[in-house]
A and B are shown apart, each in its own frame.
Chain A
Amino acid sequence: MAVAVEVTGADSTGAGPGPGFIEVDAVEKVFSVRRRGASRLRREKHEVRAVDGISFRVARGEMVGYIGPNGAGKSTTIKMLTGILTPSGGRLRVAGIDPARERTRLSYRIGVVFGQRTTLWWDLPLRDSYRLVHRMYRIPDARYRENLARCVELLDLGELLDVPVRQLSLGQRMRGDIAAALLHDPDVLYLDEPTIGLDVVSKAEVREFLRDLNAERGTTVLLTTHDLTDIEQLCKRVMVIDHGRLMYDGELAGLHEVGRSERTLVVDLERAAAPIELEGVRVVKVEGPRQWLAFPASRSAAPIVTAVAAAYPLVDLSVREPDIEAVIAKMYAGRS
């Protein structure tokens, strides 16, 4: 099995050859936070290293997942890449532009979607917000009409254009926001939790659109998410960040290797039985006729199911995927 590349500190690997379209070198962001200290009157200054020396390169047209638990530094990284936060140290380049120094010039090249915030005009129809985007980015009329028509078609916005944004559902609003971020043909799209709070159908729609966008237009996409399915369906490459440090940079499959993560097969037998014995499978729990079997996430569930069904009276089964928090927790355990 290939050994997944693990990145910490200033060493950078994992990116393809050639100059990166997004270049991040030993970037740090330190916030100073005042907290009430031991004495009631004085507030002590604390340093919070939200991003602690991260380096990576993203090639043009790549679609990269950027994951990690809450407070790991994901959004801070995205904010630095848009230029709305200046790094405390290190070097950043997006399309050759220093984001913090030339925020306005960069803004024409990037699109940003924050899942929990909206750029749309709350009281007015979607169409009015798009008209504003048209003027804001000085998009040539023909291009604007073409892009809008395309987004309307692919994101199924036709009937929503004249509906005030406040009346849209979360999924509809998210599609509206994604369209707003793409009307000016950005080279890079940052998505911060684009599927948060969406139902299964809406999630699938958003993912399909992003996949097409990346394939057809070659838009570079950097995606932060909590939902591992987003990554599985969209990104070949994933970066894991925790406590402001890059823990992993490579393929998703490799992440499971490194994290030694396990999937769980829950089987219901006709009656209670002794723990199932199978090679490469570990029985985690037995509860009457129900048993929990853990196996490496890199293995297919199909042969295991076949083997169990052949030897035991199987009634029902389900497979549970490892969640990202568990994977990262295991990565820590593996390191120490």
Chain B
Amino acid sequence: MRLYMAVAVGGFRRYATYRVATAAGVFANTVFGFIMAYTYIALWDERPRLGGYDQAEALTFVWLGQALLMTCAMMGGGFGEELVDRIRTGDVAIDLYRPVDLQLWWLAGDLGRAAFHLIGRGIAPMVLGGLVFELVLPADPLTWVAFLVSVALGVVVSFAVRYLLALSAFWLLDGTGVLQISMLTGLFFSGMLLPLTLFPGALGEVARALPWSSLLQIPADVFLGKHTGWGLIRAYAFQAGWAVLLLGAGRALQTVATRRVVVQGG
């Protein structure tokens, strides 16, 4: 356990090293936040209470999206490229002869990364957005706690999806295509472009049931106080369910991939 703590701390620190990149990222998040905020204002002026949100809630959704974009790695990123690269070059062999669990190792590192991104890339855009627009902030500190729990679950789901995709490199050798697809699906199905509650009918049902909704839609709704009491438990159960299912799938795929490397030499 102490090993994985150390890995998480390392994951945090390796992103913390690049301060200029972080500042540039905050700038980018803020610019996109402004563009999206004005688009949403135009939209909500035409259709008030769209998707069940009033304008202030919709704007909060925008800035939460910017704050969590990196934390929940909605556009992919984090360890994904690195693992794909290690598989492609065969460096993954090094990871195999050490007494570590591959999935836990990368999960710990990714949690460290997410913690850094929440602090380094999350807080500043949210504060800047809050200075310009009227946002809905929870009054109850327990809601903040509930939100953070939901974000943590979202990060695990996000990791589990990206881990599965990265492992596909064992068979595809070139993982770029997969990573690009995952970026587009992540952007859309997390609710990053538009809240998933906006979509009517079957598309909306499907979008809300897919794992990506754990990345933004659910944490944002927890933040906005849409999930309370049993609703909150149900939301957590949804996230945790996907996390367990996808981590399990990743584990199974990892076993197959490892056997393949061990027998075939990768």
Contact B14 A86 (CB under 8 A): no
Query: From A121, which residue of chain B is reached at the shortest CB distance?
Result: B10
Contact A107 B97 (CB under 8 A): yes
Contact B97 A86 (CB under 8 A): no
Query: How far is it, in angstroms, between the C-alpha of A238 and the C-alpha of B109 when the chains are bound?
Result: 42
A131 with B14: in contact, given A103-B96, A104-B99 (CB under 8 Å)?
A: no
Minimum CB–CB distance for B115 against chain A, Å: 16
Asked if A222 CB lies within 8 Å of chain B CBs, one says: no
Asked if A137 CB lies within 8 Å of chain B CBs, one says: yes
Contact A137 B99 (CB under 8 A): yes
A136 with B97: in contact, given A79-B265, A100-B262, A124-B13 (CB under 8 Å)?
A: no
User: Which residues 14-56 in A have Cβ within 8 Å of B in the complex?
Assistant: 29, 31-32, 50
Number of interface residues of B (CB under 8 A): 25
Contact B10 A132 (CB under 8 A): yes
Provide the B84-102 mask, 1 if CB < 8 A to any CB of A, else 0: 0000011101101111100
B1-9, B54-62, B153-161, B226-234: which lies at the interface: B1-9
Chain B residues near A103 (CB-CB < 8 A): 96-97
Chain A residues near B99 (CB-CB < 8 A): 104, 107-108, 136-137
Asked if B257 CB lies within 8 Å of chain A CBs, one says: no
Provide the B66-98 mask, 1 if CB < 8 A to any CB of A, else 0: 000000000000000000000001110110111
Contact B91 A86 (CB under 8 A): no
Contact A82 B3 (CB under 8 A): no
Contact A132 B91 (CB under 8 A): no
User: Which residues 219-260 in B have Cβ within 8 Å of A in the complex?
Assistant: none
Chain A residues near B17 (CB-CB < 8 A): 123-124, 164
Identify whether the interface residues of A are mostly helix, strand, loop, or mixed. Answer: mixed
Chain A residues near B13 (CB-CB < 8 A): 124, 128
Query: How far is it, in angstroms, between the C-alpha of A79 and the C-alpha of B90 when the chains are bound?
Result: 12
Query: How far is it, in angstroms, between the C-alpha of A107 and the C-alpha of B100 when the chains are bound?
Result: 10
Chain B residues near A137 (CB-CB < 8 A): 99
Asked if A231 CB lies within 8 Å of chain B CBs, one says: no
Which of the residues B3, B10, B98 comes within 8 Å of A124, measured between beta carbons? B10
Number of interface residues of A (CB under 8 A): 33
Contact A107 B6 (CB under 8 A): no
Query: From A119, which residue of chain B is reached at the shortest CB distance?
Result: B94
User: Which residues 60-95 in A have Cβ within 8 Å of B in the complex?
Assistant: 76, 79, 82-86
Chain B residues near A248 (CB-CB < 8 A): none
Contact B10 A86 (CB under 8 A): no
Q: Which of B93, B97, B98 has most chain A Cβ within 10 Å?
A: B97
Query: How far is it, in angstroms, between the C-alpha of A110 and the C-alpha of B99 when the chains are bound?
Result: 11
Asked if B20 CB lies within 8 Å of chain A CBs, one says: no
Query: How far is it, in angstroms, between the C-alpha of A84 and the C-alpha of B262 when the chains are bound?
Result: 5
Minimum CB–CB distance for A251 against chain B, Å: 31
Query: How far is it, in angstroms, between the C-alpha of A221 and the C-alpha of B17 when the chains are bound?
Result: 37
Which of the residues B91, B100, B262 comes within 8 Å of A117, measured between beta carbons? B91
Supply 6 further A-B pairs (C-beta < 8 A) apart from A31-B264, A82-B97, A131-B6.
A103-B97, A117-B90, A124-B17, A132-B6, A135-B6, A137-B99
7 closest residue pairs by CB, A with B: A135-B3, A123-B14, A107-B99, A82-B97, A84-B96, A135-B6, A104-B99
- Supply 11 A–B pairs (Cβ within 8 Å), ascending by A: A29-B265, A50-B265, A79-B93, A79-B265, A84-B93, A103-B96, A119-B98, A121-B14, A123-B17, A136-B3, A137-B99
